[in-house]
Amino acid sequence: MLYVELAIIDNNGDNSNIRISSSPRSPCRLAVSKSAGSATEQTFLRPLLSNQSYRELMAESLDPLSDRTCRMTDAYNTGIEITEQLREGDSLLLSVADNSIQTEYLNDSYPEWHPTPHSFLGMVRLLIYREATGESYRALARYQELAEPLNLEHIPDESVLSRTWRERFDDGVREFVQVAAHFVIKQSHDREFSAPAVRSKSEIVDEVDLSTDDETAGCEFSDKQTYRTTRLTRDHGFDEFDSGRAANTTYEDTQFFELQTFMGRVNCGTPQEAARFQYRHGSDSSPHGDTHLRTIKQFAPRELIDGFDAVADRLLSVIESEASFRRPVTAAIDITTVPYYGDVEGMAMVNGLSHKERAFKFATLSIVGLNVPLILAVEPVRESSAWDGNPPNQMHRVVRRLVRRAKQHVPIETVLCDREFDSIRVFQTLSNLGVNYLIPKRITSTEKEVIETMESDGEDVAVESASVHVESREHSMQFLYVPSTKGNGTAVFATNLRVGPEEAQSFCRRYSRRWQIENEYKSIKGDFLAKTSSKDYRVRLFYFVFAVLLYNVWRLTDFLLKAGVDGEMDYAPVLTAGESVELIASALIPPD
């Protein structure tokens, strides 16, 4: 949960000082200090909620990080995970059964000595399934095939189900079940993917009164709240970047950052946007396009990467106490390209994609899965091409640099990569770094022989043990042969985890979380990356790193808004990328 530190000056002045802070799970803190004259400053922590929701929450408990807040976060995460698996084509039953439900804030009202044979977690899963389908207790009791996937000995009769809901589940557990299930119902219909077992949305949603006033609009965000949160994340996102220019320069660095943000918003080049920027702010307070490019070149490539790492650490420090930010994280590594159409002579950082296509390449490491989708590390990719003297690219070194930097910020449990990283050196590097990996393999003659043997034996899944030897290091690994999710055929994955044949297919479904990184690249290049024809690599790198930084600020702002609202947390961003760009640009240079 994000907290805002409000400083209220008791001298008939306005509340003008709002700062962000992370607070441990403790009662609301009130500090009173004397200042000059008769003014008194009172400081207390308050979550980012609507006025109505805040009053209700504080009436419930003096602890802003109440059990209910944490429980609702877990409920939304449960709904999100079920929805993701449904979108991948799993049935509702398997999506619920495979869900990693957090029970820390769920209370089993039955004492340990109670004779019920049904596990608490199994009953929670069963009643989430029941709430999502709309089945009656009587109908549910007839579906004994539900028992095994949900880890129950059998499906109890309707009287036990009714008693479980009324007596074993308290108000908190019932609310958890309904919030998670209703999230799945709404998402399945709003996003129009196939989920035939899910009941109609009209059964759980009433018509909305559009005349609802602010007192009852608990799930909406005011412009003031959104702007305030954006400015708070701004404070953690830009301070680490310093051009190193003299203190008496005409323009501060923040004015160049604002111009760069506007350039990304309209997706145009420096001269055009600088002219628009000057028209909006006045020629005396806005840098010229040539001045902007000269300033950007003051940022050395290594300083940019180091600055980005420092920003990533500061952004994560804001959310480290959030209940919905879980550690260790699952990370995805991928490479994206930015096209280049000019002369390649002397362009050592331009890479060839095909006989005619050229591009700059950047590798990133991102948090994926049920977490805030932030990019933790950026690394330029330099390959050997016909027009330069670069040594052949060694992908494992790019991976090593990305993971080492990311691990300075958060512990990493598993790394997901695509087939471009199918290399024994990459496998060994990840093993040396102490992280698990899941990487699809290219299908060669060796894999084809295994697949043919599987087909002749009528097997859908197979696990093959192997070991990797690279120079003086080695580790054990496995190749997992599972049905492809993209149609007929078999997919092959490499992992250093021990996975049995019975769990190989469900384990490989984790790889689907990697799709989030494709959405990241789409947003970065479509919403935040400004155009340029410059051949100077310092300009190209600054543009890309700054676009990634804007993306991170957007996703952090969105995360904090959703963490603070007392209503349904939609998986889609509540703040669009376009709105974020406008707010960030306005927040960089506050009005006089």
Per the document, the length of the chain is 592
Q: Structure tokens of 393?
A: 């690219």
Q: How far apart are CA 544 and CA 547, in angstroms?
A: 5
Q: Residue 306: how many CB atoms within 10 A of its CB?
A: 13
326: left (phi over 0), alpha (psi -120 to 50) or beta: beta
Task: Look at residue 48 and tell me if it is in a domain.
Answer: no
317 and 288 part of one domain: no
Model confidence band, residue 456 (pLDDT cutoffs 50, 70, 90): very high
Residue 24: which pLDDT band, with cuts at 50, 70 and 90? Answer: very low
Whole-prediction pTM: 0.57
Is 446:455 a contact under the CB 8 Å cutoff? no
- The reply to whether 380 and 477 lie within a common domain is yes
Residue finishing a domain among 150, 169, 203 = 203
189 with 231, same domain? no
Q: Are residues 351 and 457 in the same domain?
A: yes
Do 376 and 462 share a domain, yes or no?
A: yes
Rounded mean pLDDT of 63-68? Answer: 64
Residue where a domain terminates, one of 456, 482, 517: 517
Residue 236, in any domain of the structure: yes
Does one domain contain both 169 and 106? yes
- Residue 240 counted as domain residue: yes
Residue 107, SS3 per DSSP: coil
pLDDT tens figures, 221-260: 445 444 444 555 555 555 556 656 655 566 666 666 666 6
Q: Judge if 233 and 366 occupy the same domain.
A: no
The pLDDT, as a whole number, for residue 552 is: 87
Nearest to 438 by CA among 497, 396, 397: 497
Residue 139's CB is within 10 A of a number of other CB atoms, namely: 12
Q: Clarify whether residues 234 and 156 are in a common domain.
A: no
Q: How many CB atoms lie within 10 A of CB 27?
A: 11
Q: What is the pLDDT of residues 411-444, one digit of tens each?
A: 999 999 999 999 999 999 999 999 999 999 999 9
For residues 377 and 511, state if they share a domain: yes
- What average pLDDT score do residues 332-342 get? 90
Residue 416 within a domain: yes
Domain contains 443: yes
Question: Are residues 512 and 409 both part of a single domain?
Answer: yes
Cα dihedral across residues 128, 130, 134, 137: positive or negative: negative
C-alpha distances (whole Å) from 466 to each of 230, 383, 448 are: 49, 30, 16
Same domain? 316 vs 296: no
Closest residue by Cα to residue 561 from 551, 23, 569? 569
Specify the range with the lowest mean pLDDT, choosing from 13-27, 49-63, 259-273, 442-456.
13-27
Claim to verify: residue 270 and residue 382 sit in the same structural domain:
no
Strands (E), 216-355: 329-339, 350-352
Q: pLDDT-derived band of residue 590, with 50, 70 and 90 as boundaries?
A: very low
Tell me the residue range of the domain where 408 lies. Answer: 312-517
Number of structural domains, the chain?
3
Residue with tokens 């947003």: 523
